[in-house]
Structure 1
Amino acid sequence: MGIPNIVLTRIDNRLVHGQVGVVWTSSIGANLLLVANDDAAKSELQQELMSATAETSEVGIRFWSLEKTITTIEKASPRQKIFLIVKTPQDVLRLVQGGVPIAELNVGNMHHSEGKVQLTKKVYVDQDDKDTFSKLVELGVDVYIQDVPEERKIAIKDVI
C-alpha cells in the first residue's frame, strides 16, 4: 500500500464536532475522518455522536487506538484523503515516533486546565505540551495554531 494520504492532522480536545466535521473537512477535501484516540476507540457513545457529524459531511469515519493507527494506517488506499484527529500533542508525538507520516499539525482546541497557560483564545498548554511541540518541530513537523481555515496560521515556535 505505501504512504497514507493524510491531508491534515489536527489536535482538538473535542475530537469530531461541527467545526471539525463540516468546516475543516470540506476546506481540506477529506473523505475520511480518522479519530486516533484510545478512549474514543472503546466508547460506543462517543462514536455514535461523532459519526452523526461525519454523516452530515458525507464522509467516512473510523475510530482507532493510537497503536492501531501506527500499525494499520499504511494500509490506507491512496484514494482515502485522511483527516487525522487527535486529542493531545503527546498523542501526535507517539504517532510520529511510531512511523505515522505526519508532515503538518494543526493545533485547534486545547482546553484550559490546572497548570496550563493561554497561548491563544482556544489553546492552553503546560510545560509538557511545550516540550512535546518543540520535539515535533525538531522531527520536521510543521506545527501551527489555526482555529478555522480562514484564520492565519501561527507557528507554534513563535508562541512557546
Structure 2
Amino acid sequence: MKNILLISHGAMAEGVKGSLEMIVGHLEQIHTVSLKPDGDNIQFENDLLAKMKALNGQTLIIADLAGGTPCNVAVKNYLEDDQVEIVAGMSLPLVIEAAVNSTITADELVGLSKDSIVNVKAKMQQTVEVTATEVETDFDKYKEYEGKAKLVNVRIDERLIHGQVAGIWATSLDTQRIIVANDEAAADSLQKSSLRMAAPTSIRLSVLPVSEAAANIQKGKYGKQRIFLLFKNPADVLRYLEAGGSFETINVGNMSYKEGAREVTKSIQVMEEEETVFEVIASKGVKITAQLVPNDPSIDFMDKLRN
C-alpha cells in the first residue's frame, strides 16, 4: 500500500485529511506534516524527516503550493529518491483519487485534478444529457439479457450521488452506469443536471421513475453494463420490488435525521414508518446491510434495527 503524506502551511493538510475521512472513512496510509504558524523551514524539515523515517515503502507527497517551504523542503530531500513522488496543488478531489486508486501515477493525478475544477453555474446552464424517461418499450432486442442485469451495488442514500457514491463506491466497483430510481428526481430538470455534475464523467447516468427503472433493468435494457442502482429512501425500494424489480442485497448508506427518527447507526436515522417498510423489504428475501464506505465493515442492518 502506497503511503500518502500531505504537507502544507498551517492546518490545511490536517483539514484535508479530516474531510477525506468524512467521505471515505479512516485510512491508515494517510499522514500529515505541517509548517507551524510559529515554525520555519528547520522545524518543518525536522518534522518531515521524522515522519518519512517512520514510513515504509513508496510514498506520495502532496504539497499545498509549488514553490512554498513545504514543497521546497520535500524536493530538497527526496528529489533523487525513486520511492518518493511529489505533487503540488493539494485539493480534496486530488487526495481522494490518490487514496482510492493505489496504482495511479503522479502525472495521472495532475491530469485528473485539472478536470475537477468546474464553473458550476455555467455548467448548470448547459444542456445536460441525462435520461429522464426512456420511452422505448420494445424490449425484444434485449431478450438475451432479460433477468441478467449486472447490479454491482444497490444502495439507499438520501443524498443520491455525492462524494461517497461517485468518488468511492462507483469507481471501486468499476461501475459503467448509475441508475437513480426516484420519481421526484426524474421529473426535475435542475436536479437531474445536478446529479449529472456529481457523477463521474466516465459513467453513464439514468435518472428514472421507480417503475420504469424496474422494467428497464429486469428486461435487460442495459445489457452487460455494470449497474449501480441508487434509491433515496426505503419506500422507493419497496415500490421497485412491487413493480417487478429484484435484487438479493441492498446497502443502506445515508439516511439523515428527521424529527421523530431514531439512530440505527451514526449515518442512518429512521422513522417508525420506515422501520415497517424495511421489515417488508426483508420479508421478501432481501438481505439488508449497513456500510457507509467500502473500508467500513458490512453489518446486518435488520439486526441493528431490531435491537
Query: The TM-score by the shorter chain falls in which range?
Result: over 0.9
* Count of residues in correspondence between the two structures: 159
In 2, the alpha carbon distance for the partners of 1:140 and 1:96 equals 11
Say which of 212, 220, 223 aligns to 1:75.
Answer: 220
Q: How does 1:55-134 map to 2 (within 5 A)?
A: 55-56=200-201, 58-73=202-217, 74-134=219-279
Q: Deviations over 1:4-52 (max 9, x none)?
A: 2212111011111121112000122211000001111011111111112
Q: Which has the higher contact order (CA 8 A, sep 6+)?
A: 1
CA RMSD after TM alignment:
1.3
8 Å CA contact 2:258–2:271 kept in 1: the answer is no
Distance 1:115 1:126 in 2: 6
* 1:128 partner SS: helix
Q: Give the superposition deviation at 1:70.
A: 2.4
What TM-score, normalized to structure 1?
Answer: 0.93
8 Å CA contact retained: 2:255, 2:269: yes
Instruction: Name whichever structure is richer in strand by fraction.
Output: 1
Question: What is the distance in 2 between the residues matched to 1:55 and 1:148?
Answer: 17
1:148 is aligned, of 285, 289, 293, to: 293
> What is aligned with 2:129?
none
Structure 1 counterpart of 2:243, one-letter code: G
Secondary structure, counterpart of 1:159 in structure 2:
helix
In the TM superposition, what is the alpha-carbon distance from 1:75 to its structure 2 partner? 3.2
Q: Structure 1 unaligned segments of length 5 or more: list them.
A: none
Alpha-carbon distance in 1 for matches of 2:182, 2:237: 10
Matched residue, 1:54: 199
Q: Tell me, yes or no, if structure 1 residue 139 matches structure 2 residue 139.
A: no
Percent identity between the aligned chains? 33
Secondary structure, in 3 states, of the residue corresponding to 2:200? helix
Higher radius of gyration, 1 or 2: 2
**Cα displacement (A) at 1:98:** 1.5
Tell me, in whole angstroms, the C-alpha distance in 2 between the residues paired with 1:23 and 1:90: 25
1:138 offset after TM fit, Å?
1.4
- Amino acid paired to 2:189: E
TM-score (norm 2): 0.50
How far the C-alpha of 1:72 sits from its partner, in A, is 2.2
**Alpha carbons 2:167, 2:200 under 8 Å: kept:** no
- Structure 2 unpaired stretches of 5+: 1-142
Pick from 148, 161, 164: which aligns with 1:19?
164
Shift of 1:115: 1.3
In terms of mean alpha carbon deviation, does 68-77 or 131-140 score higher?
68-77
> Secondary structure of the residue that 1:49 maps to in structure 2?
helix
Q: CA deviation at 1:119?
A: 0.8
